[in-house]
Amino acid sequence: MFEKYRTNKLLKKLAIYGNRLQWIKKKRKNLPEQTEKKLDENIKKISDIFEEKNRAKNNSGSSENIYQKISFAYVSKILGETEYNFSHFFNKYKQNPLAELVEELWLVVLIALLLKFFVIGSYRVPTGSMVDTINIGDNLFVSMFSYGLTLPFASGQFVEFRNPKRGEIITFIEPGPEKKALVKRVIGVPGDTVFISGKDVFINDKKLEHNKIGKLSYTSSRGDERNTTQFTETDSDGNSYNVIFNDDFSDAIRAKVESQCPYCARSIKIPPRYYFVMGDNRDDSFDSRYFGMVPRNNVQGKPLFVWFSIQFGSSIFDIIDVRLDRIGHVFK
């Protein structure tokens, strides 16, 4: 009985070495000829032992017969040879868990980076500048190839497919010192003349139409309740989208804000490869009225749909709203 126990212990250890040798055989290419020959011989000896064990078990079913065929002395001899070979020939080819993990994951990481920079990006909206087209806390999937292809960590797109159009929502890098990633709607394209006064937007001397929809309330990113009036705005190309204006803003307040606005109450001619963008929440949006026009090189992509939506308060433990109904919301 004690002999069987000792033999089984050696067999378990031998099986572990067998798996390691098989891994080297499968994964390591162009081994030295002597090493490869010893590896094949060692694998065969270990395989023969376990094949003999299986044959003996299948033929008689008696454990006594098995350990007559596979003696403790023989298993011990093969294990000793294997340990010697591993120490002198195979050790430097053995599996390194960390290195193998990197080897297995590099392709996954590469694909993820390619998807991020060339196909699909993810963008979380922290402010209310696009309410209620895009809500605070919406997580967006963004098409990174709608307008062109951008090299990782480079400015500008090395291949351009097409240019943004009026009425489209785009993601871009703010043309200011902070270089924030922002999402706004294109109001003016190259060649347009833009003039903004109060609630009115004029493109090429034509006022954008506003049709009142009704009242809309939302919780701002600061946690206070905002009451607004919602309108449908239609541009000269027939694009329609919803915009809102703060009900608490009187004409006097709006005029005061406008006095701090560098690109309000003045006619602006948009040069080639520049775009004028605005938020749909007109009284709570930091956009081209303040930082100027967006260069074509700063354009990143086009939002596709919402994949998750949650609005936090002052901390991640302060959840204002979880909007499962927003999941899958598609942007035109």
pLDDT digits (tens, 9 = 90+) for 276-288: 999 999 999 999 9
- Counting beta carbons within 10 angstroms of the beta carbon of residue 5, is it exposed (0 to 12), middle (13 to 18) or buried (19 or more)? exposed
- Label residue 7 by pLDDT band (50, 70, 90): confident
Distance CA 275, CA 203 (A): 12
Which range among 116-120, 152-156, 196-200 shows the weakest confidence by mean pLDDT? 152-156
The tokens describing 25, both together, are: 């055989």
Q: What is the pLDDT of residue 69?
A: 60
* Mean pLDDT for all residues in the chain: 88
| DSSP string of 180-245, one letter each residue | -EEEEEEEE-TT-EEEEETTEEEETTEEPEEEEEEEEEEE-TTS-EEEEEEEEEE-TT--EEEEEE
pLDDT in tens, 109-126: 777 777 766 678 888 999
Catalytic pick among 38, 146, 184, 285:
184
Distance CA 161, CA 164 (A): 10
Nearest to 166 by CA among 237, 272, 234: 237
Per-residue pLDDT, averaged over 196-203, amounts to: 94
- Label residue 190 by pLDDT band (50, 70, 90): very high
Which range among 56-65, 198-207, 262-271, 284-293 shows the weakest confidence by mean pLDDT? 56-65
Distance CA 263, CA 11 (A): 81
The question of whether 184 is a catalytic residue gets the answer yes
Helix 33-60 and helix 2-27: axis angle, to 10°? Answer: 140
Helix 33-60 and helix 72-85: axis angle, to 10°? Answer: 160
Residue that the structure tokens 């541009």 belong to: 235
Distance CA 106, CA 328 (A): 31
Helix 2-27 and helix 72-85: axis angle, to 10°? Answer: 30
The tokens describing 18, both together, are: 């067998």
Which range among 14-18, 23-27, 147-151 shows the weakest confidence by mean pLDDT? 147-151
**Whole-number percent of the chain with pLDDT over 90:** 56
Catalytic pick among 129, 221, 285, 309:
129
**Whole-number percent of the chain with pLDDT over 70:** 92
Task: State the Cα torsion 62-64-66-69 to the nearest 10°.
Answer: -140
Per-residue burial over 202-241, b = 16 or more CB atoms within 10 Å of its CB, e = otherwise: ebeeeebebeeeeebebbbbeeeebebbbbebebeeebeb
pTM for this predicted structure: 0.68
- Label residue 103 by pLDDT band (50, 70, 90): low
The question of whether 129 is a catalytic residue gets the answer yes
CA 305, chain centre distance (Å):
14
The tokens describing 328, both together, are: 């899958």
Q: What is the pLDDT of residue 192?
A: 98
pLDDT in tens, 240-249: 999 999 999 9
pLDDT in tens, 250-274: 988 988 888 889 999 999 999 999 9
Distance CA 52, CA 194 (A): 88
Q: What is the pLDDT of residue 110?
A: 74
Residue that the structure tokens 């963004």 belong to: 142
Per-residue pLDDT, averaged over 191-214, amounts to: 96
pLDDT in tens, 296-312: 999 999 999 999 999 98
Per-residue pLDDT, averaged over 98-110, amounts to: 71
Q: What is the pLDDT of residue 109?
A: 75
